[in-house]
């Protein structure tokens, strides 16, 4: 029908409807000609306006003859398709809206059953649009609204699963929470609880926020508790609870959690007899869970159970929506069997399963990235075995990895994981391609596992999962044959700067540029500082996410201002290269792909390969060194102490041979200085050890036998997490003379046995060297945080505790440590614009015991540096009370004489003096370190 004819027929019906409305009588609708005009218009099946007009015509015919129920049914039939057009809701007849909503709900529900399991995002677009439009017809107080809103939320969550658009997921979660705010029946509440729990679990998979996972488990459990035995949906709720617990086990590795997850999934499967869809979902989750449990605990029975469940699932329903996940999990079983047996056939089976998984996922589906990455992994592992087809496997593996990391509908964390695996597997054979993958992974690190929307524990967990990533990336870049030498060095340095001390660097970005912003745009600076302070506080997850969104929007706004395009961004390479004015910087790197030192001097950036520094040996040496320190603390006789010290001494010699000796030789420090050289005339070197080497006392390495082959005999050492951190420490110009100190002295500590006998003497020494110093009686955390900004120097003589589980909880023990400890985290909001020096005369203030988080430099010394102290003195392990006092006795007179800029030289002088006192007991004198400018 052409448009002109359509308009003619519509006009006839419009004229008849107008006559009814103008007269208030139904005669015009009841005339025989009305049926003839309606018959003509019904031939137009494409234009909603035609159906809409017919609806009114039949409604008026029913109004004129209420005994003719067929006219009412025809009116409803005509209006229904119009409800999903662009016709305004207010134009529909109010008297039959409830009936229309009921009919439309049934129709959309049927369509949802038809398309709800689709993997095609376009199908979910249709469902979202239908439910969203239907809600327009239902006022907020309508009893049907919660159910409709829940259906819309479910469709949005399904569309997220098919497209990866997190806006849908966030909207769905918001709608589910709104539904739960209504007064619901227990049955309806259970549905909403389990749906919200599933959506929160999905968000955890995407973002890594453990608060979502915890809430998912809680809500899923509540849904089961609300549902009586025999209820038709109880199996679904049990399966959802088992799935949430399985995800929780993957995060916590708690065996009790895994056992409970298995129980719920098995019970759910039993109850779902006859429901093939639900049975397969249970089998899929069981297979994944058994595989995870095998990986955690190594029980072969779990691996057999995983394979059995997955094979039953794919046999029962090979085209099931979960088939891709089942095939990928099945491939994982074969990978685990290969790792245990070395049988090539297992890799062949894994490749086959992963190919089936890839085939099951449409091109735009988020899960396709995971399947592609798994296939790339299996192909790369098979290529490593060699033999016929190895070259083809390797080429395809690279292609599959690239497709996976370029799959933008996947979560950034998924792409990061694939890039990391690709780089590690290809590194030995294809350094160019491997370097490219790991460079991408390092760039994704800050916006994924270290995202501002995550809490600190989640950030640390994610960073720990990718420990050594920056080291591997830099090592492979340095070995990339396709890059010019100068570019290799520069790219490697920037990767180490970007991938180490990620949380520290992020904090620096928010502090260093505010002064300049305040001068040109004070309002923006004020808003920025206020929001930063809020983000520094403990927050509820929802509030943290909301503030993180505001933060990104504010950053974008500030960077659009004139002259502020680089605001709160990492320093450029030129800024890093400019940090050599006071001496060279040695950035060290240990990787399974090789170890190197990148030396930044006034002459530029050079590389010193360190072939004797092997990754596995470094790990072993850390264990030996830390064990020797523990034995020293427990030694009860001279022989035990001597044996422990011998191992420490041997470690210092090994560090000299493999690391510091070659570096100092390359820098021209190839001979010792005369012992009488004044402290201020010694050359300086800054060590950025990063990662594993940060757990060793590089400044004390060498042979302390009078040969001069020791760092202490050649240079003054300082440490820095990154060159960017050193740049931050140098932004403040220091005066020639030191100011008074805040002396926090704790000879006794509530709840801690024993007494620090020499703390009082130490405090007196500081006060004598720095007139005007103040020591508050019974210092508390609140009082100390209040006093810190008023003093140029802060000296802490107290107990310190290093927290290996969460370094941000490492703390100094003050009077109220049991209720309000002075932790790394508590210093994040302190602003110390006039600070010069923090001297932490306490145990382990510059140490993090967690090798997985060694890159992050999360300890009290770095926290004080971040808070604003250009110079920090800390300790790498527990310090003897008497030795700590002796160190302060030597340090402070030298510091007072030389001035604040020479804190490192004063400490070097003190450590050399301590060495003279007890050269055969390095644990006593090698613990003190200087960090900063």
DSSP 103-139: HHHHHHHHHHHHHTT---HHHHHHHHHHHHHHHTTS-
Which class is domain 734-932?
alpha beta
Its sign, for the CA torsion 101, 106, 111, 117, is positive
In contact, 803 and 859? CB cutoff 8 Å: no
Rounded Cα gap, residues 307 and 287, in angstroms: 7
Other beta carbons less than 10 A from residue 88's beta carbon: 8
Share of residues in the chain with pLDDT > 70 (%): 98
**Could you give the 3-state DSSP secondary structure of residue 932?**
strand
pLDDT of 216 over the 90 cut: yes
Percent share of the chain, pLDDT over 90: 75
506 has pLDDT over 80 = no
Q: What is the C-alpha separation between 654 and 741, in angstroms, rounded?
A: 39
**617 or 530: which leads in pLDDT:** 617
pLDDT > 90? residue 800: no
Structure tokens at 845: 């203030």
Least confident of 691-695, 696-700, 745-749, 793-797: 691-695
Token pair 């849904």 is found at 223
In 666-772, at which residue ranges do the beta strands (DSSP E only) sit?
684-688, 716-719, 741-745
Element (H or E) spanning 849, and its range? none
Query: Which helix (H) or strand (E) covers residue 68, if one does?
Result: none
Q: Report pLDDT for 156.
A: 96
**Which is nearest to 137 in space by CA: 108, 177, 112?**
108
- Over range 1-26, report the average pLDDT: 91
Q: What is the pLDDT of residues 250-270, one digit of tens each?
A: 999 999 999 999 999 999 999
Average pLDDT, integer, range 93-118: 92
Output 260 or 737, whichever has higher pLDDT.
260
Range with top average pLDDT, 56-65, 397-406, 454-463:
397-406
Q: What is the pLDDT of residue 270?
A: 94
Burial (CB count <10 Å: 0-12, 13-18, 19+), residue 34: buried
Q: Which helix (H) or strand (E) holds 588?
A: strand 585-589
Instruction: Note the pLDDT of residue 455.
Output: 83
CA distance 240 to 223: 9
- Using an 8 Å Cβ cutoff, are 914 and 886 in contact? yes
What is the mean predicted confidence (pLDDT) over 741-748? 95
How far is Cα 463 from Cα 503, in angstroms, rounded to an integer?
9
- Above 90 in pLDDT, residue 543? no
- Model confidence, pTM: 0.88
Mean pLDDT along residues 687-708: 94
Please give the backbone phi and psi of residue 382, each rounded to the nearest 5 degrees, phi first. Answer: -70, -35
pLDDT band at 510 (very low <50, low <70, confident <90, very high): low
User: Of 242, 317, 233, which Cα lies nearest the Cα of 279?
Assistant: 317
Cβ atoms of residues 245 and 261 within 8 Å: yes
Q: Does residue 516 surpass a pLDDT of 80?
A: no
| Angstrom distance (rounded) from CA 486 to CA 671 | 29
Residue 169's contacts (CB-CB under 8 Å, 6 or more residues apart) are 156, 157, 160, 199, 202, 203, 206
pLDDT band at 804 (very low <50, low <70, confident <90, very high): low
Quote the pLDDT of residue 846. 82
The encoded tokens of residue 92 equal 């529909």
Q: Return the structure tokens found at 627.
A: 């064990």
Q: Is the backbone of residue 228 left (phi > 0), alpha (psi -120 to 50) or beta?
A: beta
Tell me if 433 sits within 8 A of 473, measured CB to CB: no
Minimum mean pLDDT range among 400-404, 437-441, 683-687, 852-856: 852-856
In the Cβ-directed half-sphere of 917, how many Cα atoms lie within 13 Å?
16
Please choose, from the candidates 626, 715, 667, the residue with its C-alpha nearest in 3D space to the C-alpha of residue 912: 715
Q: Specify the pLDDT at position 512.
A: 59
Q: To which CATH superfamily is domain 184-321 assigned?
A: Tetratricopeptide repeat domain (1.25.40.10)
CA distances for 21 relative to 15, 42, 95, angstroms: 10, 22, 16
* Residue 509 clears pLDDT 70, i.e. is over it: no
Packed helices 469-478 and 431-444: angle between N→C axes, nearest 10 degrees: 140
CB atoms within 10 A of CB 913: 16
Q: Work out the average pLDDT over 69-76.
A: 94
Full DSSP string of 854-919: GGG--SHHHHHHHHT-SEEEEESS---HHHHHHHHHHHHHHHHHH-GGGHHHHHHHHHHHHHHH-T
What is residue 86's predicted lDDT score, i.e. its pLDDT?
Answer: 92
> If we measure between CA atoms, which residue out of 84, 99, 81, 87 comes closest to residue 132?
84
Task: Give whole-number Cα distances, 304 to 245, 307, 353, 354, in Å.
Answer: 21, 5, 16, 19
Look up tokens 């109850």; give the residue: 271
Residue 847 sits at φ, ψ, to 5 deg, of -130, 140
Query: Each residue of 772-784: pLDDT tens digit?
Result: 999 999 999 999 9
Q: How many CA atoms lie within 13 A of 315 on its CB side?
A: 6
- The 10s digit of each residue's pLDDT in 305-361 is 999 999 999 998 877 788 999 999 999 999 999 999 999 999 999 999 999 999 999
Residues 52 and 87: their CA atoms lie apart, in Å, by 9
First to last CA, the chain: 82
User: How many H-runs (helices) and E-runs (strands) does the chain carry?
Assistant: 39, 13
The pLDDT, as a whole number, for residue 855 is 81
Tell me the two tokens of residue 528. Answer: 């920025």
Question: Tens digit of pLDDT for each residue in 268-296?
Answer: 999 998 888 899 999 999 999 999 999 99
Task: Specify whether the CB–CB gap between 755 and 799 falls below 8 A.
Answer: no
pLDDT of residue 808: 65
Mean pLDDT of 764-792: 94
List, for residues 888-927, the tens digit of each pLDDT value. Answer: 999 999 999 999 999 999 999 999 999 999 999 999 999 9
Closest CA to 598 of 490, 728, 701: 490
| pLDDT for position 830 | 74
Q: What residues does 874 pair with on adjacent strands?
A: 929
Predicted local distance difference test score (pLDDT) of residue 518:
85
Centroid of chain to Cα 277: 34
């Amino acid at each position: 029908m052409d448009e002109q004819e359509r308009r003619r027929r519509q006009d006839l019906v419009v004229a008849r409807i107008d006559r009814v409305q103008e007269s208030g009588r139904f005669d015009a609708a009841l005339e025989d000609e009305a049926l003839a005009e309606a018959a003509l218009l019904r031939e137009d099946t494409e234009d909603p306006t035609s159906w809409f007009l017919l609806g009114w015509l039949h409604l008026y015919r029913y109004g004129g003859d209420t005994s003719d129920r067929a006219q009412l049914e025809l009116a409803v039939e005509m209006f229904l398709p119009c409800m999903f057009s662009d016709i305004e809701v207010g134009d529909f007849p109010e008297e039959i809206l409830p009936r229309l909503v009921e009919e439309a709900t049934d129709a959309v529900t049927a369509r949802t059953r038809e398309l709800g399991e689709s993997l095609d995002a376009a199908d979910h677009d249709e469902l979202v649009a239908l439910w969203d439009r239907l809600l327009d017809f239902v006022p907020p107080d309508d009893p049907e609204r919660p159910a409709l809103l829940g259906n819309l939320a479910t469709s949005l969550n399904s569309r997220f699963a098919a497209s990866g658009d997190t806006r849908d997921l966030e909207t769905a979660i918001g709608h589910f929470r709104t539904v739960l705010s209504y007064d619901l029946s227990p049955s309806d509440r259970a549905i909403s609880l389990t749906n919200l729990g599933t959506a929160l679990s999905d968000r955890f998979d995407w973002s890594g926020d453990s608060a979502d996972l915890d809430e998912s488990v809680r809500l899923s459990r509540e849904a089961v508790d609300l549902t009586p035995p025999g209820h038709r949906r109880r199996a679904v709720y049990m399966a959802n609870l088992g799935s949430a617990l399985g995800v929780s086990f993957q995060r916590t590795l708690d065996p009790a959690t895994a056992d409970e997850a298995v129980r719920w999934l098995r019970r759910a499967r039993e109850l779902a007899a006859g429901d093939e869809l639900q049975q397969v979902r249970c089998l899929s989750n069981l297979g994944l869970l058994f595989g995870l449990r095998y990986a955690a605990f190594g029980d072969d029975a779990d691996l057999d159970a995983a394979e059995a469940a997955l094979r039953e699932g794919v046999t029962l329903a090979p085209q099931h929506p979960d088939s891709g996940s089942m095939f990928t999990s099945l491939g994982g079983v074969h990978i685990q069997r290969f790792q245990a047996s070395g049988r090539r056939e297992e890799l062949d089976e894994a490749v086959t399963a992963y190919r089936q998984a890839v085939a099951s996922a449409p091109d735009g589906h988020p899960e396709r990235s995971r399947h592609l990455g798994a296939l790339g992994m299996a192909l790369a592992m098979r290529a490593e075995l060699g033999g016929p087809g190895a070259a083809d496997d390797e080429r395809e593996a690279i292609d599959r990895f690239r497709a996976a990391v370029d799959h933008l509908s996947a979560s950034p964390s998924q792409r990061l994981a694939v890039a990391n695996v690709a780089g590690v597997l290809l590194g030995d054979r294809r350094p160019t391609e491997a370097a490219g993958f790991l460079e991408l992974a390092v760039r994704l690190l800050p916006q994924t596992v270290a995202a501002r929307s995550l809490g600190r524990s989640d950030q640390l967990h994610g960073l720990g999962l990718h420990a050594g990533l920056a080291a591997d990336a830099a090592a492979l870049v340095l070995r990339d044959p396709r890059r010019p030498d100068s570019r290799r060095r520069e790219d490697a340095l920037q990767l180490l700067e970007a991938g180490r001390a990620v949380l520290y660097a992020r904090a620096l970005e928010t502090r260093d540029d505010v002064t300049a912003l305040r001068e040109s745009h004070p309002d923006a600076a004020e808003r920025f500082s206020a929001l930063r302070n809020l983000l520094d506080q403990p927050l509820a997850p929802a509030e943290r996410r909301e503030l993180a969104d505001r933060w990104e929007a504010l950053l974008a706004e500030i960077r659009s201002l004139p002259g502020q395009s680089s605001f709160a961004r990492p320093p450029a390479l030129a800024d890093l290269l400019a940090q050599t004015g006071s001496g060279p910087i040695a950035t060290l790197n240990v990787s399974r792909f090789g170890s190197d030192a990148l030396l930044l001097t006034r002459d530029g950036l050079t590389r010193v390969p360190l072939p004797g520094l092997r990754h596995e040996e470094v790990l072993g040496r850390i264990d030996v060194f830390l064990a020797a320190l523990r034995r020293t603390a427990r030694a009860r006789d001279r022989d035990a102490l001597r044996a422990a010290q011998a191992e420490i001494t041997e470690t210092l010699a090994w560090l000299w041979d493999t690391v510091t000796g070659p570096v100092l030789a390359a820098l021209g420090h190839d001979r010792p200085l005369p012992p009488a050289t004044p402290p201020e005339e010694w050359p300086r070197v800054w060590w950025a050890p990063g990662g594993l080497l940060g757990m060793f006392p590089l400044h004390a390495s060498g042979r302390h036998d009078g040969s001069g082959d020791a760092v202490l005999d050649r240079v003054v050492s300082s440490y820095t997490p990154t060159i960017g951190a050193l740049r931050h420490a140098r932004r403040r110009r220091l005066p020639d003379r030191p100011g008074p100190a805040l002396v926090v002295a704790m000879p006794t500590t509530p709840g801690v046995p024993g007494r620090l006998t020499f703390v009082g003497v130490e405090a007196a020494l500081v006060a004598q060297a720095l007139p005007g110093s103040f020591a508050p009686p019974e210092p508390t955390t609140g009082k100390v945080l209040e006093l810190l900004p008023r003093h140029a120097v802060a000296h802490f003589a107290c107990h310190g505790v290093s927290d290996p589980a969460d370094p941000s909880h490492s703390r100094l023990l003050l009077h109220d440590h049991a209720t309000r400890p002075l932790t790394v985290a508590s210093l994040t909001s302190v602003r110390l614009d006039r600070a010069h020096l923090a001297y932490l005369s306490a145990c382990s203030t510059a140490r993090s015991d967690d090798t997985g988080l060694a890159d992050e430099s999360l300890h009290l010394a770095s926290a004080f540096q971040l808070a604003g102290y250009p110079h920090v003195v800390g300790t790498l392990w527990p310090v003897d009370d008497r030795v700590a006092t002796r160190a302060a006795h030597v340090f402070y007179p030298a510091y007072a004489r030389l001035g604040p800029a020479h804190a490192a030289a004063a400490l070097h002088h003190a450590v050399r003096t301590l060495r003279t006192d007890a050269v055969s007991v390095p644990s006593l004198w090698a613990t003190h370190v200087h960090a900063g400018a």
